[in-house]
Amino acid sequence: MQRLRIHHIQHVPFEGLGLIASWIDLHQHLHTQTHIYKNEILPSVNEIDVLIVMGGPMSVNDDATIAWIAAEKAFIKQAIDAGKIVMGICLGAQFIASVLGATVYKNSQKEIGWFPLQKMEISPTNSTSLSETITLLLSNQTVFLWHGETFQLPENAIGLLSSEACVNQAFLYRDSVLGLQFHVEMDETSIDTIVDNCRAELIPSEYIQTEEMIKQKMEKYIEENKKLLFDLLDEFIEKKNKRII
């Protein structure tokens, strides 16, 4: 079995790997991390096979006020250019979109809570077997969202999923770069922690659920999302072992 060297970038203490850590342990892959908000040093791209970029409350457009953003963007670009497997979640997806030249901007609505995803129409000339697999896996599924910004679809990327309030929820680039605006990695502890740290954003509206609603739905959806996450990582990372050996 090929043990992959998986590295993740974390932007705040309360948005870590969540259930992804369980998947890494299950497959006995190697794992390293950079808590970039602590100004920890990023590794050499040559030292990793897979890069996972996590979420956070800041914006990728905060270059002028957050010193490490420029270094992170440069590192993500190096990883993509080197052909590494790269996955971004929420802010991480926005980082990838920005690195690929797309605009990241405020969405018309904040989305906070459990909402369903819809399949985007993909031109047959643009689709790949992986894009079709990921879309089939996640379309019509209810996932956890917590974001106020979104991204344009990067040039040459395949748009996969959308939601009622946000046009672009997922994209695939070169079959090795995946951006997800939503969270399937969060377990009960992850959600409790983000609620505790970002409770001020829970101002009920059409697409912002109350704390009570969010926690009531956890029991139903977290186990479903764990299976979705593991199936997704099996398709996107595990089945690519031969490609990166």
Kindly list the domain boundaries of the chain, sorted by start residue: 5-244
Contact 168, 150 (CB under 8 A): yes
Which CATH code for domain 5-244? 3.40.50.880
> Residue 20: its pLDDT value, please?
98
> Residue 244: its pLDDT value, please?
45
List Cβ neighbours of 113 (8 Å cut-off, separation of 6 or more): 144, 145, 207, 208, 209, 213, 214, 217
Q: What is the pLDDT along the chain (245 residues), one digit of tens a residue?
A: 589 999 999 999 999 999 999 999 999 999 999 999 999 999 999 999 999 999 999 999 999 999 999 999 999 999 999 999 999 999 999 999 999 999 999 999 999 999 999 999 776 667 899 999 999 999 999 999 999 999 999 999 999 999 999 999 999 999 999 999 999 999 999 999 999 999 999 998 999 999 999 999 998 999 999 999 999 999 999 986 554 44
H runs (alpha helix) in the chain: 19-27, 68-81, 91-99, 129-138, 188-198, 211-236, 241-244
List Cβ neighbours of 206 (8 Å cut-off, separation of 6 or more): 109, 165
